[in-house]
Amino acid sequence: MNIYILNGFTEYSKCYELSSFGDAFLHFQDAKDEAEKKINHILQEFDVDKESEMEVTEDEESFFVSIFSEGNIRLEISIFKKELPVT
């Protein structure tokens, strides 16, 4: 059985307080949907140039996003597949 782990950290407020998070999902798309909610929140709160301040790496089973602006990391988020042993 596979699960998809969504984890990372984000700037909690404009005073640069970091908050970490982690969740597990049965489906990659569910994890990606949750990640996109967090990404959109940061994009709305901070003035981010998507071309120069946002890095995205994605394939069928993994997803990584890093958003930074003004020299500060605003969000780092990743999704990776974890195989669980079947008992």
Sheet of strand 2-13, all strands in order from the earlier edge strand to the far edge: 17-25, 2-13, 72-83, 63-69, 54-58
According to DSSP H, which parts of the chain are helical?
Answer: 28-45, 50-53
Give phi and psi for 25, each to the nearest 5. Answer: -135, 150
Q: What is the pLDDT of residues 56-74, one digit of tens each?
A: 999 888 899 998 877 777 8
Per-chain mean pLDDT for the chain: 85
Give phi and psi for 16, each to the nearest 5. Answer: 65, 50
> In the predicted model, what is the mean pLDDT of residues 15-27?
78
> What confidence score (pLDDT) does residue 14 get?
57
> What confidence score (pLDDT) does residue 18 get?
60
pLDDT band at 48 (very low <50, low <70, confident <90, very high): confident
- Distance, CA of 17 to CA of 20 (rounded, Å): 10
pLDDT for residue 15 is more than 60:
no
